[in-house]
Chains A and B, each alone.
Chain A
Amino acid sequence: SQTIHQWPATLVQPVGSPLSLECTVEGTSNPNLYWYRQAAGRGLQLLFYSVGIGQISSEVPQNLSASRPQDRQFILSSKKLLLSDSGFYLCAWSPYGAGTQETQYFGPGTRLLVL
Chain B
Amino acid sequence: AQKITQTQPGMFVQEKEAVTLDCTYDTSDQSYGLFWYKQPSSGEMIFLIYQGSYDEQNATEGRYSLNFQKARKSANLVISASQLGDSAMYFCAMREDQAGTALIFGKGTTLSVSS
Contacts and interface: CB of A to CB of B under 8 A. Distances in A.
Interface of A: 32, 34, 42-44, 46, 49, 51, 59, 88, 90, 92, 94, 99-109, 111
B15 interface: no
A106 B45 contact: yes
B103 A46 contact: yes
Interface of B: 31-33, 35, 37, 42-47, 50, 52-53, 91, 95-97, 101-103, 105-108
B108 A43 contact: yes
B42 A101 contact: no
Contacts of A90: 43, 45
Contact of A100 (B32, B44, B45, B108): B32
Contacts of B108: 42-43
